[in-house]
Amino acid sequence: MASDLKDHVVVLGKQHLPETGVILIPNYLSFHDMLLLEREFQGRTLTFLLEQGSQVDPLLLAHLEKEGISALEFSIDSAQRDSFRRQLQTDLDEKQLVILVPGLTTTRPGSPTSVPVEILRFLIEAGGPVMPLHVAHPDDTALSVEPRPRRHTVIFSFGQVMSGAEVTLANYWQHLLTAGEAAYQKRATLELSLGYALICGLKKHGTTNRVITGEDGADQRFDRILAIAIALAQHIKKETTQPRVGIVLPPGTGGLIANVAVVLAGKVPVNLNFTASEEGIRSAIAQAGIDRFITADPFVRRTQRFPWPPNRQIIFLERLLPAMKPAIAGWLIASKAMPPRALARALRISPKGGDREAVLLFTSGSSGEPKGVALSHRNVIANVHQFASRLQMRSHDCALGCLPLFHSFGCTVTLWFPIIEGINIITHPNPIETNKLAQFIQQYHISLLIATPTFLRGYLRKAEPEQLASLRYVITGAEKLPRSVAEQFEARFGKAVHEGYGLTETSPVTNVNLPDPVPDGERHKVISSQRPGSVGHLIPGIAIRITDPETDEPLPLDKPGMIWLKGPNIFNGYLHNPEQTAKVLHDGWLRTGDIGRVDHEGFLFIEGRMARFSKIAGEMVPHETVEEAIARELHIENEGDRKIVVVGIPDEAKGEQLVLLSAIHGLDPTDLRYRLLERGIPSLWIPKVIIDVLEIPHLASGKMNLKACQTIATRGEDDAL
């Protein structure tokens, strides 16, 4: 036990532990963890549970065979259940702590549990109080820029005890994830500032990783990126005293350098959505209080719709950087010679960021005026780590950087994440030029592709199978993944598409499906990392709860309802907008506005947006379900280039009524109604009014423009016709 002195043990939630007997179900338990638990519970009688026939760490097994150690075997075979339950009840009556020892399983790093669902279900149904235990080893999934710890940290986080009717799989998952969120909040990583993490990443990976412009092959190593960014940062400091700087650039080396430079200048980058309406852009600029904009001449000429300010407020990269070559050369030498802390001190970058604003993004404005989402240093660093811990990418991996930098996925996942973790980035300014992107994937052996389902359709039309052979991960988000797209993509390219989920307010990633791990041995059970139709497991450090959308009363996780999330990646509020903030944030919990449920293996299923439900005569009617039924009846594909959309408008008699906007002209409401009734669609769900439109309104990002659809439905006609 002398080695235990080297451990830093953190215990959370021990006050939840009852003095009576309880079944303790950990998400993971190593031999060393068991020794630490025994020390923690000195004075209490412990019984360890093992599944018959399961593989167990030989050291752990040898320890359980020692005299004085109580162990109880069980089998999920129904023939032995009664005798096991009788012995279990005896142990519980004697106030023992009955602790499951999970058998060896194969899991992906960051998986929420290593216990198969059939074991969880068996113990949940065994007839006794149950308590989840989240065991975390932060050092095992540290960011590449984290210093090596002097002591190994183990965190034991105890969840709420369940008894009687509370003992369900849904409640176990909820309490386990809540305990995991509490444990995750204790990670020292979360205190890093974004600027310091970027310095560490660019220095550590300075000679091994690079940013390459796909179109012309221009190549910049990370160490030179750092030098250029520092030189530019000094110029930015002289240009403005405002805390935020606007960036109007597509994804590329220039946009990456601009973002890093603004952070190293001690300011907040604001990547503006140049595809938004002029009204929306002006609103974002005013809200952020921006008086300086970083861009490039060619981009200004191509983006005439943007409300450009006077030239004196614009920093043109291609004009400025050539004149800075001496300064860049000096900083290249200095940045190589100085350790990260010394360099950060010279640049006046604090190693700690905490809850200070690090990045400002704006929502798309699909349902109203764009809202400023202020992400803190803690938010961004947490999400980079959460995503990195699940993917476990290596330094020779390449990510395709083509998502807009004003998009939360483009900002965190294809900008900050690769720099901090040391992953090569191949950039291209336009995500819809999939013929070129497919060439780059093949040429540079790209392994990570982040795309929306709309962009994946482009690859189906324009890419050849051999061009995508190097991809290890194809991850999609921002909109629902149609099953047909996933099936066609896998059939054509031999690559599974893994759907994820996130919001700008969550920095953005909260869930992701991933390929199942390769079994470690013939008898190892594999804990799946994917479930078709779901958006995957919650990534480490996020808790979830489900409530009634109307009353906010708690619901079991496995019942559809409003999704609430909590974790270090959840934003602290909208910029200058306390009223909107109060609508979505309560005691650290974020009301997502999405309806969903969690299955018994921890996978989250999104049922739809709350904004896409109508309450008619007291019944919640899902717009997307109605649209799917109409699309099937009309034999159309309503994905990507939409042909129909259902909208709810006020109705004095029933609260709301449904209106169908249709780009298929000449639909007869009465005929459609009878056809849907024959399909079994409830009468209440069928739109009585159809409005012909030239096209379904959408934003430049490809998302449906809910605000414009609502306006047309309320007005009763489309001016475009």
The dihedral of CA 696, 699, 703, 709: what is its sign? negative
Q: Residue 240: is it exposed, middle or buried by C-beta count within 10 angstroms (0-12/13-18/19+)? A: middle
**Residue 381 corresponds to which amino acid?**
I
User: In this predicted model, what pLDDT tens digit does every residue of 629-679 receive, in sequence order?
Assistant: 898 888 887 776 788 999 988 887 778 899 999 999 889 889 999 898 888
Whether the pLDDT of residue 76 is over 70: the answer is yes
Question: Quick check: 45 and 70 in contact, CB under 8 A?
Answer: yes
Spatial neighbors of 702 by CB under 8 A, at least 6 apart, are: 452, 454, 479
User: In this predicted model, what pLDDT tens digit does every residue of 503-539 receive, in sequence order?
Assistant: 999 999 999 999 999 887 666 789 999 999 999 999 9
CATH class of 194-593: alpha beta
For residue 2, what pLDDT is reported?
37
Question: Quick check: 572 and 587 in contact, CB under 8 A?
Answer: no
Q: Is 509 left (phi over 0), alpha (psi -120 to 50) or beta?
A: beta
Produce one character per residue of 162-181: b if its CB has 16 or more CB atoms within 10 Å, e if not: beeeebbbbbbbbbbbbbbb
Sequence length of the chain is 721
User: In this predicted model, what pLDDT tens digit does every residue of 241-263 receive, in sequence order?
Assistant: 999 999 999 999 999 999 999 99
Structure token pair of residue 472: 């290890």
Question: Quick check: 390 and 108 in contact, CB under 8 A?
Answer: yes
Q: Which residue has the higher pLDDT, 280 or 269?
A: 269
Whether the pLDDT of residue 3 is over 70: the answer is no
Task: Please give the Cα distance from 574 to 581 (Å, whole number).
Answer: 6
* Confidence bin at 402 (pLDDT 50/70/90): very high
* Confidence bin at 174 (pLDDT 50/70/90): very high
By percentage, how much of the chain surpasses pLDDT 70? 97
Lowest average pLDDT, out of 91-95, 558-562, 571-575, goes to 91-95
For residue 365, what pLDDT is reported?
62
Strand-pair category, 604-609 with 589-598: antiparallel
Task: Please give the Cα distance from 496 to 499 (Å, whole number).
Answer: 10
Q: Which residues pair with 71 in a beta bridge?
A: 48
Mean pLDDT of the chain: 92
* Confidence bin at 720 (pLDDT 50/70/90): very low
User: In this predicted model, what pLDDT tens digit does every residue of 577-632 receive, in sequence order?
Assistant: 999 999 999 999 999 999 999 999 999 999 887 778 887 877 778 888 888 889 88
The verdict on pTM exceeding 0.75 is yes
Query: Which residue's entry shows tokens 């704006």?
Result: 362
Spatial neighbors of 708 by CB under 8 A, at least 6 apart, are: 697
* Confidence bin at 5 (pLDDT 50/70/90): very low
Question: Quick check: 138 and 119 in contact, CB under 8 A?
Answer: no
* Residue spans in the chain of domains classed CATH 3.40.50.12780: 194-593
Whether the pLDDT of residue 721 is over 60: the answer is no
For the ranges 34-43, 331-340, 687-696, the one whose mean pLDDT is highest: 331-340
Quick count: other Cβ atoms within 10 Å of Cβ 491? Answer: 10
The CATH topology of domain 617-715 is GMP Synthetase; Chain A, domain 3 (3.30.300)
Q: How many helices (H) and strands (E) does the chain have?
A: 23, 35
For residue 702, what pLDDT is reported?
64
Whether the pLDDT of residue 270 is over 90: the answer is yes
Whether the pLDDT of residue 310 is over 70: the answer is yes
User: In this predicted model, what pLDDT tens digit does every residue of 98-124 receive, in sequence order?
Assistant: 999 999 999 999 999 999 999 999 999
For residue 523, what pLDDT is reported?
61
Q: What is the largest CA-CA distance in the chain?
A: 85
Closest CA to 471 of 560, 391, 575: 391
The DSSP output letter for 104 is P
Task: Please give the Cα distance from 402 to 431 (Å, whole number).
Answer: 5
* Confidence bin at 80 (pLDDT 50/70/90): confident
Strand-pair category, 543-547 with 554-555: antiparallel
- Mean pLDDT of the 540-550 span: 95
For residue 653, what pLDDT is reported?
78
Closest CA to 580 of 562, 593, 568, 565: 593
Secondary structure percentages of the chain, helix, strand, coil, to 5 = 40, 25, 40
Query: Which residue's entry shows tokens 């392994």?
Result: 447
